[in-house]
Structure 1
Amino acid sequence: MALDLSTRRIAARQPFGGVPKGKASQDAIKGMTLSHIVLPLENPLSDAKVLTGRQSALAAVDIISCEMVSENGHRGMGFAYTLRAGGSGMFALACEIADRIMGHDPNDIGRLWELLRWQTNSLGQGGMSYQTIGAFDTALWDMKAKVAGLPLAKLLGAHRDTLRIYNSQGQYLQASIDEMKAAADRSLTLGIGGIKMKVGQPDGQEDLKRIMAMRDHLPDDIAFMIDANQQWDRAYALQFGKIVDEVGLAFIEEPLDALDIEGHAELARNLSTPIATGEMLTSPTEAIQLVQKGGCDISQVDALRIGGVTPFLKAMAMAEAHRVQIAPHWLMELHVHLAAAFPEEAWIEHFHWLEPLFDERLEIADGRVAVPDRPGLGLTLSDKARDWTVATQDIGERGRA
């Protein structure tokens, strides 16, 4: 039967990027200052990936900051990061795509995230493109919370004002057992509530020796975790996990390759110790699949690695729906706000590396970290951050205050 096209009509669809501004739009992005900051570490750090020759020791952190201003004079500051490689590429990409959201209402955060995602679509859905988008996304959320006069956690709907906090400071593989014990003591003096040590050496007996030495050293009320940094295969991880099941670890982190969701799921089914992973995932799709497929007991998804606050909220909702706990990777300055909006108790990972970037400090006491009471993220870039800046680009009006 022939189709008579003259009598057929297809309903018009709204343009994906949205229609021209209506009465609800009362502001617009007027300018940004993008900066590439290289933050040096006091001492290069080595985990199992370095010991096996897969990576070089970590000596610096590359930060991409986005300082944004709107026509109504509102400001927001966001950032992205990478380790070892990619900082210059992320900065160049940020400068290239920033125009895509200029002039748009900064309150339309979800729509602006999609505009940036489609602008970088040829680079793939994830990876460097999404990590770069995270700088813009966090700046927009920072601005929105500041306009509301609320800490970001309160804007999102906080379930608590303090969260459990742990760290790995001094627990890397280059440290001796005595050095690890001393570092743990310093951390506990700071008010840290959990200690995570690195494992994954070629000699598993050495790992076990260090684990037992630290477990015996730590008070019983201090949580203890281990992190293999993706260095085991499935058989070895299961064998090692069964041996340490009696130690009472809070979790085993990244025993397998980050993308081996099936392998992590098998470990989660067969070990008593919770399996934590997800920090290396670089898209919300991966983060959601990890939880849907039972690939972890604890999701460690990193907000900036998957594209910022907007996709992290989706990943967090999926974790809640599947009764999976969260312990977001690194970035305590951001994750303290996001994890506070999660219904179940979460872990925050303490790293002092980023502290010199900001004028403010988080309050830590009695094993917990407090949500800041300052509006937005509650952060301003320090003079040191300006000194470590290797490149700057203004888009539209200067975004730096």
Structure 2
Amino acid sequence: MAMQNSVLLDTPSSDGDKIEWVKISLVFLPLANPISDAKVLTGRQKPMTEIAMLFAEIGTQEGGYGLGFSYSKRAGGRGQFEHAKEIAPTLIGENPSDISKIWTKLCWAGASVGRSGIATQAIGAFDVALWDLKAKRANLSLARLLGAQRDSVRTYNTSGGFLHTPLDQLLVNTDISREKGIGGIKLKVGQPDCQVDIKRVEAVRAHLGDDFPLMVDANQQWDRATAQRMCREFEQFNLVWIEEPLDCYDAEGHAALAEKFDTPIATGEMLTSVSEHMEFIKLRATDYLMPDAPRVGGITPYLKVASLAEHYGLMLAPHFAMELHVHLAATYPTEPWVEHFEWLEPLFNERLETRDGRMLVPTRPGLGLSLSERVSGWTAAQVTFGEKK
């Protein structure tokens, strides 16, 4: 018994550690080319030219360090930063291992603005940083800390299939993705002329062959009648899924499509709380649930969503942020998909590997990420709470 106690006392992580300092940064990552999906063609949004990143860095008295992030496409980045700035002092002096307790404390610090949207997305950056720190203290990758089911995850590319991309370039992009070892292709649909969508999907399916995994994403731009017609048209193309055919909050409409058609329905990326996901899960309004950890408030609430999805037998395909979601997808019992977007790569020194249609789960401690030198040039605002020693 004495030997067992000695082993426990020699464990590197101390139960008495405290958060000593927190640094948050607002970074605007420029995109090489303006990005357009169906929301642009319908006049609801302008082409996207940058991504606002909220980085959180957390340091402890014992020298622990964690890096986390959240993000916003188009408006919202400055709002996330301002909310994070208000609640960040709440972290000082807390034990970094008390992640659920800290999440709740941060949530109550901004309770008057709700438990979803910008409020939880700001919390998400801190939460991810705390999990990164915890995994590093255990000298484990995040996936292994959480209980990995696999060492690699199926991956599909989205960045090459946007609506602004001409058809001939679209076909070139699919070849590039396959040469990189990516195992699926997703196309954006939702053109004002539905026949254009059908022709583009038909051409890519012919180019890829009958069995190569192909998905489409309408980005919420169809009404119920149009979604019915397009889902019926797309049945012939052997798609892995049809994503966001309706407004992201139309759970009943998605449920009707999931019930009626053989092609699976996918949605969930725009939801920003566990309760919003629960409505879709209970109604079986999706076959592939697509939670986004930064949007839902970090890893802590993401794990609750994933647990519910597993209980109800849903398939999983977390949205965007592959640098984080490759770890989380690796823990899901049923084989998931991870979305391949190279957009965030300039922010980090490390790169994810793809091979034989799969994304390899990093084995470095924590997320396995460090910020690149280029980040400082894109930083618009930064503030530190507490004191580094």
**TM bucket normalised to smaller:** over 0.9
Aligned pairs for 1:82-161 (under 5 A) are 82-161=72-151
Aligned to 1:290: 280
Aligned position for 1:322 = 312
Give the TM-score, by structure 2 length. 0.95
Which residue among 203, 225, 242 is the counterpart of 1:213? 203
Q: Which amino acid aligns with 2:331?
A: A
Q: Return 5+ residue gaps in structure 2 as ranges.
A: 1-13
Is 1:334 the counterpart of 2:324 in the alignment?
yes
Which of 45, 49, 52 is the aligned partner of 1:55?
45
Distance (Å, rounded) in 2 between the aligned partners of 1:110 and 1:55 = 36
Q: What SS is found at the alignment partner of 1:62?
A: strand
Distance 1:398 1:387 in 2: 23
- Residues 91-129 of structure 1: CA deviation (Å, up to 9, x unaligned): 111111011121010000001000011111111120000
Worse-matched range after superposition: 218-227 or 290-299: 218-227
| Superposition map of 1:231-380 within 5 A | 231-380=221-370
- Identify the residue that residue 169 of structure 1 maps to in structure 2: 159
Tell me the CA shift for residue 289 of structure 1.
2.0
Q: Distance in 2 between matches of 1:317 and 1:188?
A: 32
Letter in 2 for 1:144: K
Decide whether the 8 Å contact of 1:169 with 1:187 is kept in 2.
no
Match of 2:296, SS?
Answer: coil
C-alpha separation between the residues in 2 aligned to 1:170 and 1:157? 32
In 2, distance between residues paired with 1:77 and 1:168?
26
Is the Cα–Cα contact under 8 Å of residues 171 and 198 in structure 1 kept in the other structure? Answer: yes
Q: Is the 8 A contact 1:169 1:184 kept in 2?
A: no
SS at match of 2:295: coil
CA contact (8 A) 1:45 1:172 kept: yes
Give the whole-Å Cα distance in 2 for the aligned partners of 1:272 and 1:312: 28
CA contact (8 A) 2:210 2:238 kept: no
Q: Check the 8 A contact 1:226/1:251 in 2, yes or no.
A: yes
Structure 2 residue aligned with 1:188: 178
Instruction: Identify unmatched segments of 5+ residues in structure 1.
Output: 1-23
Letter in 1 for 2:152: T
Q: Secondary structure at the match of 1:344?
A: coil
Contact 2:211 2:238 in 1 (8 A): no
Partner-residue secondary structure (3-state), 1:230: coil
Q: Matched residues in 2 for 1:373 and 1:339: separation?
A: 14
Whole-Å separation in 1 of the counterparts to 2:49 and 2:388: 31
What per-residue deviation string (whole Å, max 9, x for no partner) do you get for residues 64-97 of structure 1? 1011101111100000100111111211111110
Distance, in Å, in 1 between the alignment partners of 2:89 and 2:159 is 40
Structure 1 residue 217: deviation in Å? 0.4
Higher deviation after alignment, 87-96 or 256-265: 87-96
Change (3 A) 1:398 1:59: farther
2:36 counterpart residue number: 46
Shift of 1:354: 0.2
Partner amino acid, structure 2, of 1:83: K
Q: Paired residue for 1:5?
A: none
Matches of 1:71 and 1:398, distance apart in 2: 9
| Residue 24 (structure 2) aligns with | 34
Give the Å deviation of 1:221.
4.0
CA offsets 1:369-388 (integer angstroms, 9 cap, x no match): 01101000000000011221
Question: Paired residue for 1:391, among 360, 368, 381?
Answer: 381
Shift of 1:175: 1.4
Which residue matches 1:70?
A: 60
Offset at 1:25?
3.9
2:56 partner SS: strand
- Distance in structure 1 (CA, Å) of the matches to 2:57 and 2:373: 15
Contact map agreement 1:229 1:254 (CA 8 A) in 2 = yes
SS at match of 1:32: strand
| Count of aligned positions | 376
Q: Report the Cα offset of residue 398 of structure 1.
A: 4.1
- Code of the residue aligned with 1:347 in structure 2: it is W
Superposition RMSD in Å? 1.1
Q: 1:198 aligns with which of 174, 183, 188?
A: 188
SS in 2 for 1:304: helix
SS at match of 2:294: coil
Q: Is the 8 A contact 1:33 1:398 kept in 2?
A: no
Tell me how far 1:186 sits from its aligned partner.
0.8
For 1:243 and 1:92, locate their aligned partners in 2 and report how far apart those are by CA, in whole Å. Answer: 46
CA deviations over 1:198-223 (Å, ceiling 9, x no partner): 10011111111111001000134420
Q: Determine the structure 2 residue equivalent to 1:79.
A: 69
